[in-house]
Amino acid sequence: MPTSSLGEPLWPHPQRLPLGGGFTGYCTAPGHERYSPTDDELRDGCNVGYAVRCPQLPPDRSADANRFRVTQAGAEVNVFHCSELRHAPVAQASLRFDLAAQTWTASHPDACLQRQAECALESWLAQRPSPRGSEPISRS
Residue 57 has pLDDT above 60, yes or no: yes
Beta bridge partners of 121: none
Question: Got the DSSP string for 122-139?
Answer: HHHHHTSPPPTT--PPP-
> What is the reported pLDDT for 133?
46
> What is the reported pLDDT for 97?
98
118 DSSP 8-state letter: H
pTM for the whole structure: 0.86
> What is the reported pLDDT for 11?
86
- Output the average pLDDT for the chain: 88
> What number is the average pLDDT over the span 47-69?
86
Residue 34 has pLDDT above 60, yes or no: yes
Residue 61 has pLDDT above 50, yes or no: yes
Q: How confident is the model at residue 138 (pLDDT cuts 50, 70, 90)?
A: low
Q: Kindly state the percentage of the chain with pLDDT values over 70.
A: 92
Alpha-carbon torsion (48, 76, 138, 134), positive or negative:
positive
H/E element holding 116? Answer: helix 111-126
The pLDDT tens digits of the residues spanning 95-116 come to 999 999 999 999 999 999 999 9
Q: How far apart are CA 86 and CA 115, in angstroms?
A: 23
> What is the reported pLDDT for 36?
94
Beta bridge partners of 23: 5
Q: Are 67 and 44 in contact (CB under 8 A)?
A: no
Q: How confident is the model at residue 140 (pLDDT cuts 50, 70, 90)?
A: low
H/E element holding 91? Answer: strand 88-98
